[in-house]
Amino acid sequence: MRLIHRVWQIANAVYLRITLNWVTLSFFALSFLYFSAQGLLQSFMYSADDAWGALTSDIVAHAQINWTVFAQYTGRHGTYSLELCNHGDPDPCVHFFTEGQSEPVTIPSRFLPSFDQRDASLQSSALWILGNSSPSQDLRISSQPRPDGSSDVVISSTVNNMSMTIDPVCSYTLLYPHAKLSQARREDQSLIAYQFWLFGLAVFALVFESIPHTLALVIARVTITGWSTYSLWRSMNIDDRLHHIIQDVDTPCHLDLFSGYFDKRIKLQIADLALHCTALFISIFLSWRLYLMYRTHTFSRVGPPKNVLRMYRYFLAVLVSIQLSLFVLVTALALWVDQLLHGPIRKFSSRTPVYGATFILTAVMLIPWLTMGWFSVRREWRKMTWAFLGTSCFFIFTWTMMFYSPVYRFTFIDWPFFGCVTVTAFVSLIFSTVFMFICRHNYGKGLAQWLYIEDAFGEDEFVADLIPTQVTETPHASKSLTLTLTLSHLDPFKDVEGMA
């Protein structure tokens, strides 16, 4: 019963923190609203990416293309061209197609599957979303091998007995949108998780009156708004590329497969960007009000001297950097491992066990690293601080050395989202390490003592949120509450009487 009473009391204290005034209530309500709306939009985008990704996956699979073969876009300055690559060869990439070329498009023989690799009986039923956004149809997809080792893909309708044939050259061209749609699905999953993280930061900021979480939330909003802007431009850019290498008359395919997809996705991205922009401006305003309120409340309890206030800013910088590092590090690790297991590099990565061991070691050390950073800088525990700094340097060194890997460099350059997350993780790591060194230099100068006293006041107030309050009218606010709290030993399980 004591445990239930304690949980109920904490829940009520959390409720009081969230509904303390119009700023906290608006901050929570708008955070939840944007979390729900943007999570829903990201889910719609994932649904579109998954539908058209399944289309290209079916075609590529039935074309019997080797798993080590992939297409790379090489167009520059108004030209649109593709290369076929196979990292198992000494010369991995060769020219495949350029818009407007007079020579017929052919598949180099070394990119064709050998006869013992083909499966002539390969066929399946698929739910295909047509490019013009017409209703989905039940289709049967099958392979028809050619003598040269390539395969035609035959798509026939089970409804009206109509069929179409996609030749091998078109199937190899579709390797490029197939890779981009696969990356888009991973991005959607990461951004859905990002919405949960943003909402978690907002809740922690309110419940614990945490300035670091509040500042981290604003920086995270700035980052995601910037990425959303770039992502919209990139979608329009890829739409333009596919129009010139797949849809136009002189292309190997001459098929309108993706216009419906981009119409849908770009509309969703515009709505998503609009939400991100409004969320950013509202978040900046409300976070600033929260920062002023929490800062005033903190310093009014125990006012720090000027030298402690200066050290307190570095202390906040450490905690903000750690909060930002947590999500981006986990995301970068997850995306890299996903590419090793499911991406085009999985067949020609010769050091996958080493990369896997690096991932496992980093993942195991991540939570202890976060814990060491949070507590060591607050308590000025020197040994734990050096352990945190050593772990940070290990992370930076290890993931810097990853750039010596050709497959890591290829993934970093070819996938902008992975590159953005990786750079953000590095910047957060470097900032947390540098600011922790500065804080370590200031140990023993009064910050830990001031934080200890401030925490004591804060914990008493958190437990005492259900302690009798005295309601007073102030000259400037007709309905303000003045909480009269005693800092004696409080018994949270004592009956509460005289609640206002």
Pick the range with the lowest mean pLDDT from 26-30, 212-216, 219-223, 494-498. Answer: 494-498
| The token pair that represents 312 in the structure block | 């307190």
Q: What is the pLDDT of residue 355?
A: 78
Distance between CA atoms of 188 and 197, rounded to whole angstroms? 14
Q: What is the pLDDT of residue 464?
A: 44
The 10s digit of each residue's pLDDT in 192-239 is: 999 999 999 999 888 888 888 889 999 999 999 999 999 999 999 999
pLDDT above 90: residue 357: no
The 10s digit of each residue's pLDDT in 233-287 is: 999 999 999 998 988 888 888 888 888 899 999 999 999 999 999 999 999 999 9
What stretches of 208-305 show up as alpha helix (H) in DSSP? 211-242, 259-301
Question: How many angstroms separate the Cα of 341 from the Cα of each of 171, 229, 328, 329, 370?
Answer: 23, 30, 20, 18, 27
Distance between CA atoms of 49 and 261, rounded to whole angstroms? 8
Mean pLDDT, range 3-12, rounded to an integer? 78
452 confidence band (pLDDT: 50, 70, 90): low
Distance between CA atoms of 248 and 254, rounded to whole angstroms? 5
Distance between CA atoms of 365 and 355, rounded to whole angstroms? 15
The 10s digit of each residue's pLDDT in 98-132 is: 887 877 888 877 777 765 444 444 444 444 444 44
Could you give the count of Cα atoms lying within 13 Å of 233 in the half-sphere of its Cβ?
Answer: 6
Count CB atoms within 10 A of the CB of residue 235: 20
Distance between CA atoms of 38 and 114, rounded to whole angstroms? 47
Could you give the count of Cα atoms lying within 13 Å of 191 in the half-sphere of its Cβ?
Answer: 30
Distance between CA atoms of 384 and 390, rounded to whole angstroms? 10
pLDDT above 70: residue 329: yes
From the centroid of its chain, how far is CA 122? 36
325 confidence band (pLDDT: 50, 70, 90): confident
The pLDDT mean for the chain works out to 79
Question: How many angstroms separate the Cα of 497 from the Cα of each of 38, 253, 464, 493?
Answer: 44, 78, 13, 12
Mean pLDDT, range 370-397, rounded to an integer? 88
The 10s digit of each residue's pLDDT in 407-425 is: 888 889 889 999 999 999 9
26 confidence band (pLDDT: 50, 70, 90): very high
Distance between CA atoms of 178 and 181, rounded to whole angstroms? 5
pLDDT above 50: residue 463: no
Distance between CA atoms of 30 and 133, rounded to whole angstroms? 34
